[in-house]
Structure 1
Amino acid sequence: MAASEDNAVQRLRQAAIARSTRPFLARGARVKRCAACQLALTACICEQRPEVHAEVSFCLLMHSLEPLKPTNTGRLIAECLPDTQAFVWARTEVDPALLALLADERYQPFVVFPGEYALASQQVCRELPKDSARRPLLIILDATWTQARKMFRKSPYLSDLPVLSLETAQLSRYRLRRSQREEHLCTVEVAAACLVLAGEELAAAQLNEYFELFSDAYLRAIRLRTSEE
């Protein structure tokens, strides 16, 4: 199925480009990229993107630069799971649409973050409720680890929400950016782990397969570009 350009992260990307007074120059900025999957045109994977269905929803709270980065994996969630929303984080202001989403009675929001960072007043959950009438809304902070900790501390509108603390022995398979610690999962890996926790094994497998496809295609395009230079 061809990937849709109309997803929550793509809209943030287009809005950021429209506001910018000068172009954001990521690594490989001269590469001609697919507008949807952000891979080099020679490595486009749009036709192989799955449409994933699950009984949980995701909300990406993104550092301002993340929607612009070709290596960002949060957008893989938005591309595959239609019920994904995304917002740019800012310390001094909050998007009213985000506050409205958190107050929506159809959802039960959880902040996906290590429980050791939760406030004393916050409930820390190791699993999702199985019998809730409200759809779980899993909020993932899409940023570097240092940025994510700051976002978690400085977002008072998250402080009353329960924290979903993942316990996984999985090491990150992300190969496109360096992390100081191997146990730090990238954004799409966090989403896949959440899906497993929710009993959505098929959805998790589909998302993981797309992530592997994305990583392989990105690295293959880099090797091809390097060999031509």
Structure 2
Amino acid sequence: MARELCSHCGFSTKTCLCDSINIINNRLKIIILRHPSEEKITKNTAHLLNLGLANCQIIAGESEQDFVSLQTLPKSSTAVLYPSHDAWCLDEQSSEVNIFKQTLTHLIVIDGTWKKAFKMRQLTPCLQQFKTVSFKQLPQNQYLIRKAPREDSLSTLEAVAHSLHLIEQLDVTPLYKLLAALVDKQTKHMPEDVRARYL
């Protein structure tokens, strides 16, 4: 039997997050490239960003042909959030980085496992036309219910929240509260032995 879904947040009525949504009016347009395999995962956090940000778009796909709309983005004021060797660190205090942050209009984020994100980047050559940005220091990972193979892993929500804090100096507490609400609702419905693996 299909689960009954909330018409607004899209989660099941048992794990509805509507009471925890407080929309942030971000200037920077967040564009999330979501791997199709992430779409049905209830623990996927890109959907939370779409609920909690005024300026956010999700595009599903795996390669260049799925992301043709990226070709129209302004090259000089668009960045890709990805930890490449030549990435500019958003938390670096230099005049060059600060000026760049002020001019940013679009931030592209790849939503998928490390392996899938790497492959999506390789299959989407147009991403190479934009500067890459990342962080020197990562905030504490608060998303405990989805395990990642790397220690420097953040959920998509955490990575975007940290970026918005560094670029726009926004108070991103509402996003972290939304994430905490998801963790709380998801763990409540886990069997005791499964919950113990995460908390």
- Equivalence for 2:51: 79
TM-score in terms of structure 1 length: 0.71
CA–CA distance in structure 1, aligned partners of residues 71 and 173 of structure 2: 31
- Spell out the pairing of 1:100-139 with structure 2 (5 A cutoff): 100=72, 102-103=73-74, 108-116=77-85, 118=86, 124-127=87-90, 129-130=98-99, 134-139=103-108
Deviation, 1:223, is 4.8
Deviation, 1:198, is 1.2
1:218 aligned to 178, 181, 186, which one?
Answer: 186
SS at match of 2:23: coil
SS at match of 1:93: helix
- Equivalence for 2:197: none
Are residues 38 and 182 of structure 1, via their aligned partners in 2, closer, same or farther at CA, if it must alter by over 3 Å?
Answer: farther
Q: Is the 8 A contact 1:73 1:186 kept in 2?
A: yes
Map Cα deviations across residues 8-27 of structure 1 (whole Å, 9 max, x no partner): xxxxxxxxxxxxxxxxxxxx
Deviation, 1:64, is 1.1
Higher relative contact order (CA 8 A, sep 6+): 2
SS at match of 2:39: helix
Q: Does 2:179 match 1:205?
A: no
CA–CA distance in structure 1, aligned partners of residues 168 and 103 of structure 2: 16
Q: Does 2:58 match 1:99?
A: no
Map Cα deviations across residues 56-84 of structure 1 (whole Å, 9 max, x no partner): 22000110122222111011111111211
1:51 aligned to 8, 23, 27, which one?
Answer: 23
- Equivalence for 1:165: 134
Deviation, 1:30, is 5.4
Are residues 81 and 198 of structure 1, via their aligned partners in 2, closer, same or farther at CA, if it must alter by over 3 Å?
Answer: same
4+ residue runs over 6 A deviation: none
Are residues 129 and 55 of structure 1, via their aligned partners in 2, closer, same or farther at CA, if it must alter by over 3 Å?
Answer: farther
SS at match of 2:106: strand
Q: Is the 8 A contact 1:87 1:98 kept in 2?
A: no
Q: Is the 8 A contact 1:39 1:218 kept in 2?
A: no
Q: Is the 8 A contact 1:38 1:70 kept in 2?
A: no
Deviation, 1:210, is 1.2
Percent identity between matched residues is: 21
Map Cα deviations across residues 92-142 of structure 1 (whole Å, 9 max, x no partner): 613433323x24x8x8210001132x5xxxxx3223544777542111100
Q: Is the 8 A contact 1:171 1:183 kept in 2?
A: no
Q: Is the 8 A contact 1:57 1:135 kept in 2?
A: no
SS at match of 1:169: coil
Are residues 215 and 110 of structure 1, via their aligned partners in 2, closer, same or farther at CA, if it must alter by over 3 Å?
Answer: same
- Equivalence for 1:195: 164
Q: Which runs of 5 or more residues in structure 1 are unaligned?
A: 1-28, 119-123
TM-score in terms of structure 2 length: 0.81
Q: Is the 8 A contact 1:195 1:201 kept in 2?
A: yes
CA–CA distance in structure 1, aligned partners of residues 139 and 77 of structure 2: 26
1:69 aligned to 30, 36, 41, which one?
Answer: 41
